[in-house]
Amino acid sequence: MKSKKETKIKEVDNSISGGSPDVSQITTKADLRAFITDVRDKLLKDQAAPIFAMAAMQQVMTLDAIYDLLDKENREILQEIWVKLSQSGLHLRKPPLLFGDGESQVAAK
């Protein structure tokens, strides 16, 4: 049985992360979609600072299986996040993975 302190720590942790899956646990397109949708929603509602969204993007873009996990919908969500980050004042280059010819890049890997 968990103590009250352990339960409270877990509740605080869930409220901070919003219940989102850990990036290291993303193994399917649905997992990725859930994570990036959460990041996008928090960014658009000003519930997360752009730098935190940028950190989440960096973690997602460096996943080992990112080429397998990116489909059209996931790519569009990531593009939305990227545009919002650019609009917030971050000076960013467009990653070819998101804004280049996605079909040829996936086929090349």
Whether residue 100 contacts residue 109, with contact meaning beta carbons closer than 8 Å, is answered with no
Q: How many helices (H) and strands (E) would you count in the chain?
A: 7, 0
- Please indicate whether residue 73 or residue 2 has the higher confidence score (pLDDT): 73
> In the structure encoding, which two tokens stand for residue 24, read together?
């290291």
Supply the mean pLDDT for the chain: 79
In this predicted structure, the answer to whether residue 24 has a pLDDT above a threshold of 70 is yes
pLDDT in tens, 54-96: 999 999 999 999 999 999 999 999 999 999 999 998 888 888 8
Whole-angstrom distance, CA of residue 46 vs CA of residue 38:
12
In this predicted structure, the answer to whether residue 101 has a pLDDT above a threshold of 50 is yes
Q: What angle do CA 89, 46, 17 make, to 5 degrees?
A: 115
Give pLDDT, residue 3.
Answer: 63
